[in-house]
Amino acid sequence: MTDAPKSVTILGVTGSVGTSTLDLIERNPEGFRVEALTANSDVEGLAKAAIRTRAQLAVIGDESRFAALQQALSGSGVEAAAGAGAIAEAAARSVDWTMAAIVGCAGLSPVMEAVRRGGTVALANKEALVSAGSLMIEAVAAHDATLLPVDSEHNAIFQCLDMAALDKVRRIILTASGGPFRTASREAMASVTPEQAVKHPNWSMGAKISIDSATMMNKGLELIEAHHLFPISEQRIEIIVHPQSVVHSMVEYVDGSVLAQLGTPDMRTPIAHSLAWPQRMDTPCESLDFAKISRLDFEQPDLDRFPALRVAREVVIADGAKPAIFNAANEIAVAAFLERRIGFLDIVTVVEAVLHGYDPSVPASLDDVFAIDREARLRAQEWIKAKAA
């Protein structure tokens, strides 16, 4: 890249998406200048990344780790800070590009800070958009910010969708790998362990999204995400299972043309697309070997074995507070499954129970969203406690 270096902030730098983002930036030292890096508790990973990239600021979410961060950064010239408020402040600093790669609704405040600053925000953190919904999209427009989708499916759609011809789009087709239990029976799924569930057949990702892929909650969250990112009605967004994860998603136009974006399952491709946008940049991602792949398979998702897809469809239609409840209950249920407090099939059961028992009014502000998120978490915890008793 020959332009002036882009200033960047990475929220959630120690995670799977954060690490891939850092990898691309470190391969192009002339192209980027790092402003701030944040992590939740991994002081060592954060400090090393900050020192290597000569970041201005490193922020750790867990305040009890502040002294450890200060020590790890002493003499480096990198400023240290701690706490959720400090992460939000870091996100508010002026930069050309922000990667939002925190997992869960914990990333919502920092994403909104970056949006309010009117910057370019590369969004991996789908839970933030699902929870805030149209409030985030309205803030993007009000502050003249740019939201670039990093989720591989949404990045694929972004690359294929002609925003000037939306009335000529027949449908959007979101592909889903089907996860590790694509062919498993409900009986078999009832007894799977966290170790089995985090083993995704194609992608290497953080634990939470890996479990979401196994339940197909991930595709449910992505349906809601697509509904907000692209002004296309929910009925025209379809989900198809594609076990090879080569076709990342598709857009069909009224003339019958279907445009797709393909690539190896490596998040560095969609991240690079957002990082260089509206240009392109090199990545070390392998080329697709079509002869070796030899075939691409597609199958209808099974809503009986994967009820998360049915629930997500109901949630996107109901809208209002439901997406925030859906996300919050799922975050608690996934954490409980990872801690072996509930079974795999209980995840969707908890989410549905919380959705049915809690019907607050439509959130009018971000504070409303946080209140709904908190209450849904409490209700999910109560359900889990009652089950264990």
Residues that bind ligand NAD (CB under 6 A): 12-18, 39-40, 42, 61, 87, 101-103, 106, 124-127, 151, 203, 205-206, 208-209, 267
Where does this chain touch Mg ion (CB under 5 A) — which range of 57-65, 143-151, 251-259, 317-325? 143-151
Tokens of 386: 């009652």
| Residue 373 lies near Mg ion (rule: CB under 5 A) | no
Tokens of 246: 């080569």
| Residue 151 lies near Mg ion (rule: CB under 5 A) | yes
Beta bridge partners of 7: 33
CB of 146 to ligand NAD, least distance (A): 18
| Rounded CA separation 359/322 (Å) | 8
Q: How many residues are given for the chain?
A: 389
Q: What DSSP letter does each residue of 301-316 carry, written as one string?
A: --TTT-HHHHHHHHHH
Where does this chain touch Mg ion (CB under 5 A) — which range of 99-107, 149-157, 194-202, 225-233? 149-157
CB-wise, 95 or 169, nearer to ligand NAD? 95
198 binds, options Mg ion, ligand NAD, none, Cβ within 5 to 8 A by partner type? none
CB-wise, 153 or 346, nearer to Mg ion? 153
325 binds, options ligand NAD, Mg ion, none, Cβ within 5 to 8 A by partner type? none
Cα Dmax for the chain: 63
Residue nearest to ligand NAD (CB): 15
CB of 45 to ligand NAD, least distance (A): 8
CB of 128 to ligand NAD, least distance (A): 8
Q: For the purposes of burial, counting CB atoms within 10 Å of the CB of 224, is it exposed (0-12), middle (13-18) or buried (19 or more)? A: buried
| Residue 212 lies near Mg ion (rule: CB under 5 A) | no
CB of 274 to Mg ion, least distance (A): 14
Measured in whole angstroms, how far is the alpha carbon of residue 351 from the centre of its chain?
19
For the chain, report the end-to-end CA distance as a whole number of angstroms: 59
Residue linked to tokens 């910010």:
145
| Rounded CA separation 333/384 (Å) | 8
CB-wise, 58 or 124, nearer to ligand NAD? 124
CB distance 133 to 228 below 8 Å: yes
Name the amino acid, one letter, at 43. V
Could you give phi then psi for residue 212, rounded to 5 degrees? -60, -35
CB-wise, 151 or 252, nearer to ligand NAD? 151
178 binds, options Mg ion, ligand NAD, none, Cβ within 5 to 8 A by partner type? none
106 binds, options ligand NAD, Mg ion, none, Cβ within 5 to 8 A by partner type? ligand NAD
CB-wise, 38 or 120, nearer to ligand NAD? 38
CB distance 215 to 308 below 8 Å: yes
CB-wise, 169 or 250, nearer to ligand NAD? 250
| Rounded CA separation 267/16 (Å) | 9
To the nearest 10 degrees (0 to 180), the angle between helices 346-357 and 366-388 is 120
CB of 341 to ligand NAD, least distance (A): 19
CB-wise, 40 or 169, nearer to ligand NAD? 40
CB distance 37 to 72 below 8 Å: no
CA dihedral sign of residues 102, 103, 108, 112: positive
CB-wise, 1 or 285, nearer to ligand NAD? 285
CB of 17 to ligand NAD, least distance (A): 4
CB distance 170 to 161 below 8 Å: no
59 binds, options Mg ion, ligand NAD, none, Cβ within 5 to 8 A by partner type? none
